[in-house]
């Protein structure tokens, strides 16, 4: 995934954020990631913004089916029950 | 409501249990169906057929998987069949091979060129702070919702299940029948685009 022992660039780091948050980075890559954000304001902020994005998505309410769809389904249920 | 109660309720033909399961899963079922079929109307048909399949199959359900996984497997089977009938193959291939088209998380122009002497690939225009007080405003949530709606269906389904519904990576992967890596790639692209939409919104509104 990351070649060589050199430091991560910011452009590489932004592609690893989800793997980092998922705990899916190999230990060596995780260390480089941590070392990078410790000294890079831009990437530290970027990581915070990805976390905020996840929180905001979690604050949305799931959209429901249109009410007439739900009525149709309950009618199907009643039909099924009758058989 | 746990699986045991839900299964017993359905088998006893308890309408309240059915209605509650619908409320729990309809939105997710609809989003997953939209990966495979072209229109919302067809996706709603698929969801309806799924519930009928659930009702018809519940007496024979052996509980080898969770009820949720089983319901989504029924949906996926129905949606795939409908999708094939519609000859809709592009979104399927995007589910199976999310690496097909590279989509950078951040516009490459935001970084210094790779042949830059001092700091190749470093931010040229780093992210600006977001206004804390606007983060949970209703309008901001509207931006997030709109951004999710414009994602390709596979990305929209993954971010909905993971971040909106709070499913685990494994549950999501099972429901969509995709690999762990593909799940993560789709999630990464989806989250990156929603973050970008928020940044655009806060910058313009600044």
Q: What is the CATH number of the domain that holds A72?
A: 1.10.10.1320
Q: Is A56 in the B-facing interface, judged by CB distances under 8 Å?
A: yes
pLDDT higher than threshold 80 for residue A4? no
**Contacts with B82 (C-beta within 8 Å, 6 or more apart), sequence order:** B36, B37, B42, B45, B46
Please report the pLDDT score of residue B98 as a whole number: 57
- Please report residues of B whose CB lies closer than 8 A to that of A56: 135-136, 140-141, 144, 194, 198
Please report the pLDDT score of residue A28 as a whole number: 95
Q: Which of residues 95-124 of B touch A (CB under 8 A)?
A: 104-106, 108, 111, 114, 119-123
pLDDT higher than threshold 90 for residue A81? no
* Tens of pLDDT, residues B157-191: 999 999 998 999 999 998 888 999 999 999 999 99
Cross-strand pairs, B130:
none
Assigned domain for A64 exists: yes
pLDDT category of residue B78 using cuts at 50, 70 and 90: very high
Number of domains chain A contains: 1
Radius of gyration of chain A (CA): 23
pLDDT higher than threshold 70 for residue A65? no
> Does B135 or A83 have the greater pLDDT score?
B135
Assigned domain for A4 exists: no
Q: Return phi, psi of residue B101, to 5°.
A: -120, 120
What fold characterizes domain B3-88? Rna Polymerase Sigma Factor; Chain: A (1.10.1740)
Q: What global pTM score does this model have? A: 0.85
Please report the pLDDT score of residue B141 as a whole number: 94
Assigned domain for A3 exists: no
Q: Is B57 in the A-facing interface, judged by CB distances under 8 Å?
A: no
pLDDT category of residue A27 using cuts at 50, 70 and 90: very high
In CATH, what is the architecture of B92-205? Answer: Orthogonal Bundle (1.10)
The minimal CB distance from A77 to the residues B15, B23, B106 is found for: B15
Burial class for B99, CB neighbours closer than 10 Å (0-12, 13-18, 19+): exposed
- Distance between CA B170 and CA B18 in Å, rounded? 25
Sequence ranges of the domains in chain B: 3-88, 92-205
What range defines the domain where residue A78 resides? 10-82
How large a percentage of chain B has pLDDT more than 70? 92
> Does B204 or B82 have the greater pLDDT score?
B82
The minimal CB distance from B195 to the residues A22, A41, A53 is found for: A53
Counting Cα atoms < 13 Å in the Cβ hemisphere of B132 gives: 1
Mutate which: B11, B22, B47, B98, vs A, most A CBs within 10 A: B22
∠ CA B16-B18-B24, nearest 5°, is: 105
- Distance between CA B146 and CA B152 in Å, rounded? 13
Assigned domain for A2 exists: no
pLDDT higher than threshold 50 for residue B90? no
How large a percentage of chain A has pLDDT more than 70? 88
Assigned domain for A33 exists: yes
Q: Is B10 in the A-facing interface, judged by CB distances under 8 Å?
A: no
């Amino acid at each position: 995934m990351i070649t060589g022992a050199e430091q991560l660039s910011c452009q590489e780091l932004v592609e690893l954020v989800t793997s980092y948050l998922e705990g899916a980075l190999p230990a060596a890559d995780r260390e480089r990631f941590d070392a990078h954000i410790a000294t890079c304001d831009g990437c530290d902020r970027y990581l915070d913004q990805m976390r905020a994005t996840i929180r905001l998505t979690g604050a949305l309410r799931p959209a429901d089916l249109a009410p007439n769809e739900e009525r149709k389904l309950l009618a199907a249920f009643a039909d099924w029950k009758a058989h | 409501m746990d699986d045991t109660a839900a299964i017993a309720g359905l088998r006893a033909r308890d309408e309240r249990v059915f209605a509650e399961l619908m409320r729990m899963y309809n939105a997710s079922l609809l989003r997953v169906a939209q990966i495979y079929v072209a229109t919302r109307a067809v996706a709603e048909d698929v969801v309806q057929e799924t519930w009928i399949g659930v009702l018809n199959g519940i007496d024979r359900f052996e509980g080898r998987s969770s009820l949720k996984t089983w319901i989504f497997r029924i949906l996926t089977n129905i949606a795939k069949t409908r999708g094939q009938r519609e000859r809709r193959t592009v979104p399927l291939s995007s589910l199976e091979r999310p690496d097909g088209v590279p989509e950078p998380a951040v516009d490459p122009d935001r970084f210094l060129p790779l042949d830059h002497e001092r700091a190749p690939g470093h931010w040229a225009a780093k992210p600006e702070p977001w206004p804390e007080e606007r983060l949970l405003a209703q309008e901001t949530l509207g931006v997030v919702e709109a951004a999710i709606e414009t994602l390709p269906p596979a990305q929209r389904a993954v971010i909905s299940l993971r971040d909106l519904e709070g499913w685990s990576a494994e549950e999501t992967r099972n429901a969509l029948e995709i690999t762990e890596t593909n799940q993560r790639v789709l999630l990464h692209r989806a989250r990156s685009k929603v973050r970008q939409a928020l940044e655009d919104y806060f910058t313009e509104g600044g």
